[in-house]
Amino acid sequence: MVKVGIVGVGTVGESVVKTLLKNRDIIKARAGKEIKVVKGVVRDPSKKRGVDIPLTTDYRQVTESEEVDVVVELMGGVEEAYKVVKSALSHGKPVITANKALLAYHRFELQQIAGELPFQYEASVGGGIPIIKALREGLSANHILQMSGILNGTCNYILTAMEQGGDYQSALQRAQELGYAEADPTLDVNGMDTAHKLLILASVAYNIDVRPEDILVEGIEELSPVDFEFAQEMGYKIKLLAIAKKRGENRVELRVHPTLLPKTQLLSKIEGVMNGVSVIGDVVGETLYYGPGAGGDATASAVVSDLIEVVRGSNTPMLGYKKPLEMGDFQLVPQMEIESCYYFRLGVEDKIGTLAKISSILAEEGISIKNLIQKQREGYVKLLLSTHRSKEANIQRALEKLRAQKFMKREPFFLRVEEK
């Protein structure tokens, strides 16, 4: 029998204990041994829980105990969780975690500490979707050319609701009422949670060691109903996308932002709280992964699959690389070198010559307009326009010039557009 200690018996921890009991027979047959939770670590042992396991408040009773073979970290947070995982690995115990925030900051360090010990984290990205195993194993013959992911169900729910009419605040409130958004949804809506997940995927795909602060991260808070009207009229959806693009031999673009995506693309069909990831490999072409990105049971499905893998004796390296890359490490493409199509929302004075001036400012920066819609508002005009492919640096310079114009009635707003 394999004895498991769980640090954190909350939403996911409880579901893990229940799944191990409910599917005990098939799990035993697949793993080759029975898997039993022998201890749980919590903050408040007096709290009523849906599972009956021995509890403690001292994580060392799990990470240092002779009675525990494998440690599962499901407490969340960064620094305290880091101590727990480090302690478990230092005491020779394989570790499984669902903690994307921890991995966004400490994955390479923890890989070093783990060495040959199994360290699995399938549940940290896409909840129940087996995307880490797909990248680390199923697609390991490929150079990963591109990954695009909808990795935050809260944001996708809000964006789907806004698409059907309504503003950001009421969509967020509805998400909170339904339990999809936390009381403090900041990390979800500002794109940081998605960035954590993107960095985990990027490490497996490119072995690149960067932090959330190093990459372009924009949230969905500034989106307005008129952006969805433009998207609808021009055949797009708006999605918060995590994007990784291989550029040249060993450079990679990593970014998170709300994106206009053609309705014809498969990812644009992912609605509500669901998650989805498209991965393009140089050998396989495009593959797509879809499923529930959160929730106790979906996440437990991934945690328990990691447990089964560990019990089977798999020793796949944590981030999927057994040796350094001979071609050298992947480097991050600087933000200003990103290339994309763009969408602008400009609030301008209703005056002859304004449009001509905007076109000339854009032309000075080599930016050409693809589509344009005008919407009359009280006292001003909303210009919604999309561009052909341009460089981020040129777009930023054009925005600076636009901001300086007297005819600008509102702060200019822009989004990136992902054309195939």
Ligand X SMILES: NC(=O)c1ccc[n+]([C@@H]2O[C@H](COP(=O)([O-])OP(=O)(O)OC[C@H]3O[C@@H](n4cnc5c(N)ncnc54)[C@H](OP(=O)(O)O)[C@@H]3O)[C@@H](O)[C@H]2O)c1
Please tell me whether residue 320 binds ligand X under the rule CB under 6 A. Answer: no
For the CB of residue 217, give the shortest distance to ligand X in the complex, in Å.
Answer: 17
Which parts of 181-231 are beta strand (E)? 216-217
Binding-site member from 2, 17, 75, 277 for ligand X (CB under 6 A) = 75
3-state secondary structure 333-346: CCHHHCEEEEEEEE
Helix, coil or strand: residue 127: coil
Q: Are strands 369-377 and 331-332 parallel, antiparallel or unpaired?
A: unpaired
Task: Restricting to residues 104-123, name those near ligand X by CB under 6 A.
Answer: 123
Residue number, 187 or 373, with CB nearest to ligand X? 187
**Site residue total, ligand X (CB under 6 A):** 23
Nearer to ligand X, 93 or 100 (CB): 100
| Residue 131 touches ligand X, criterion: CB under 6 A | no
Residue 25 phi, psi (nearest 5): -65, -50
Q: Could you say whether residue 83 binds ligand X (CB under 6 A)?
A: no
Q: Is 80 in the site for ligand X (CB under 6 A)?
A: yes
What is the DSSP code (8-state) at residue 220?
A: S
13 binds ligand X per the rule CB under 6 A:
yes
Q: With binding defined as CB under 6 A, does residue 143 bind ligand X?
A: no
70 closest CA partner among 88, 90, 52: 88
Sign of the Cα torsion 208, 212, 213, 218 reads positive
**Interface with ligand X, residue 307, by CB under 6 A:** no
Q: Using CB under 6 A, which residues numbered 244 to 303 contact ligand X? A: 294-295, 299
- Helices (H) and strands (E) counted in the chain, each on its own, are 14, 18
Which of 352, 357, 403, 349 lies closest to 379 in space, CA to CA?
349
CB of 340 to ligand X, least distance (A): 29
What is the contact mask toward ligand X in residues 157 to 196, using x (rule: CB under 6 A)?
----------------------------------------
Q: Is 151 in the site for ligand X (CB under 6 A)?
A: no
Q: x/- binding map, residues 28-67, to ligand X, per CB under 6 A?
A: -------------xxxx--x--------------------
The residue annotated as part of the active site, out of 39, 100, 133, 197, is: 197
Buried b (16+ CB within 10 A) or exposed e, 62-89: bbebeebbbbbbbbbeeeebbebbbbbb
What lies within 8 Å, CB to CB, of 178 at 6+ separation is 157
Choose the stretch contacting ligand X; rule: CB under 6 A; options: 8-16, 63-71, 138-146, 201-209.
8-16
Please list the helix, strand and coil fractions of the chain in percent, rounded to the nearest 5, in that order: 40, 25, 35
197 counts as catalytic: yes
Q: Judged by CB under 6 A, which of 9, 85, 240, 252 binds ligand X?
A: 9
72 touches ligand X by CB under 6 A:
no
Catalytic positions = 197
Instruction: Name the residues that contact ligand X, by CB under 6 A.
Output: 8-13, 41-44, 47, 74-76, 80, 98-100, 123, 127, 294-295, 299
